[in-house]
Amino acid sequence: MYEIVHVTGEPAQSEQLGSKTKFWFMTDDGHPFLFKQGRPNTGENWAEKIASELCGLLKLPHAEYELAVWNGTKGVLTRSFVPPGGRLLFGNELLARFVKGYAANRVHKQTQHTVSSVMAVMRHRSIELPTNCEWDGIIVAADVFIGYLMLDAWIGNTDRHHENWGLLVIPPRRVMLAPTFDHASSLGREESDERRQERLLTKDKRRSTEAYANRAKSAFFRTATDIKPLSTVDAFLMAARFRRRAGLFWLETLRSLNPDDVNTIFNNVPPSEMSAIAKSFALRILDINRGRVLSAKEIL
């Protein structure tokens, strides 16, 4: 079972980004850790933990999350991946430098947040790959970012808006793609167990788990004039067409995963944090989305 970390001490500072209560803590050896509180009556904490472990299976560079409790409040704990002296440059800041008139302060329904704009920036060879990324066919940061989008399509992550990805700026002149982070909006974490059970058992295709999985929308748009965002699968596909070799690499990585390893991750989540029906529902989502993503190989 995964350990539930009991956080002690007082917050060093609050975190302003996002809609959840977040606090930074400093350990005795000077390392900063972020405690992020999950919203009540959701599975945001276990979704974040499971997504982190699934990243490990895919060998995607990622923020590592642990289930945690602070002052009686449940959440997750993650160590800062920003190196000393560096900073995290969020996607909205980056795109504002390259896209004319980019509305950096608009988080949701930001139609200028297009796959083509992000890929154009990420293909710049001055952006280094994340640490310990040494794969055949993975050459530029865009290749790794395609892996992030495949992860979103697999787990149904609907929240990769322009403040949920970024670059690490490391003095004096290094710039590196940041690990993937913030995956709590995934795996059906907002559904009640009653609705999960209904979706798993219903014969009504409109209310099925398949219908639920197929509705997952990304935070990316095809063009700045579009009204609706791309689905998570279509966002991955569009990015993969820019770098087909990388897209095929990540598809093969997903295809070759051992289902037993995925099941082990779920089995390690304590029953106090995730119900059996929530596990069945999330696993079904992964199975459905895996099939949808892998079928994309034929149209890349």
Is the predicted pLDDT of residue 279 greater than 90, yes or no? yes
- pLDDT given for residue 27 in this prediction: 76
- pLDDT given for residue 13 in this prediction: 60
- pLDDT given for residue 154 in this prediction: 98
Task: Identify the band that residue 17 occupies on the pLDDT scale cut at 50, 70 and 90.
Answer: very low
Is the predicted pLDDT of residue 57 greater than 60, yes or no? yes
Which of these, 196, 176, 200, 179, lies nearest to 188 by C-alpha position? 196
- pLDDT given for residue 287 in this prediction: 98
Domains, the chain: 5-79 (3.30.200.120), 86-300 (1.10.1070.20)
Q: Which residues pair with 34 in a beta bridge?
A: 24, 78
Which of these, 76, 79, 75, 253, lies nearest to 153 by C-alpha position? 253
Q: Return the amino acid letter for 188.
A: G
Q: How far apart are CA 245 and CA 240, in angstroms?
A: 8
Question: Residue 41, CB half-sphere, CA atoms under 13 Å: how many?
Answer: 3
Q: In what order do the strands lie in the sheet with 13-14?
A: 5-7, 65-70, 73-79, 32-37, 22-26, 13-14
Q: What is the mean pLDDT of residues 268-283?
A: 98
Is the predicted pLDDT of residue 11 greater than 80, yes or no? no
Is the predicted pLDDT of residue 209 greater than 60, yes or no? yes
Task: Identify the band that residue 201 occupies on the pLDDT scale cut at 50, 70 and 90.
Answer: very high
Q: What is the mean pLDDT of residues 91-120?
A: 94
For 18-38, give the DSSP string.
Answer: SSS-EEEEE-TTS-EEEEEEP
Q: Is 300 helix (H, G, I), strand (E, B) or coil?
A: coil
Q: Is 187 helix (H, G, I), strand (E, B) or coil?
A: coil
Q: How far apart are CA 258 and CA 31, in angstroms?
A: 34
Cβ contacts of 7-14, under 8 Å, gap ≥ 24: 7/33, 7/35, 7/68, 7/69, 7/70, 7/71, 7/77, 11/35
- pLDDT given for residue 163 in this prediction: 96
For 128-175, how does the pLDDT look when each residue is reduced to its tens digit (9 = 90+)?
999 888 888 899 999 999 999 999 999 999 999 999 999 999 999 999
- pLDDT given for residue 116 in this prediction: 97
Q: Identify each DSSP E strand in 137-199 by its residue range.
A: 166-170, 174-177
More confident residue, 99 or 16: 99
- pLDDT given for residue 10 in this prediction: 72
Q: What is the mean pLDDT of residues 66-82?
A: 95
Task: Identify the band that residue 99 occupies on the pLDDT scale cut at 50, 70 and 90.
Answer: very high
CB neighbourhood size of 8 (10 A): 8
Question: Residue 250, CB half-sphere, CA atoms under 13 Å: how many?
Answer: 29
- pLDDT given for residue 64 in this prediction: 97
Is the predicted pLDDT of residue 15 greater than 70, yes or no? no
Q: How far apart are CA 162 and CA 75, in angstroms?
A: 23
Backbone angle region of 277, left / alpha / beta, with phi > 0 → left and psi within -120 to 50 → alpha: alpha
Average pLDDT over the chain reads 93
- pLDDT given for residue 12 in this prediction: 67
β-strand pairing of 73-79 with 65-70: antiparallel
Q: What is the mean pLDDT of residues 187-212?
A: 97
Q: What is the mean pLDDT of residues 195-210?
A: 97
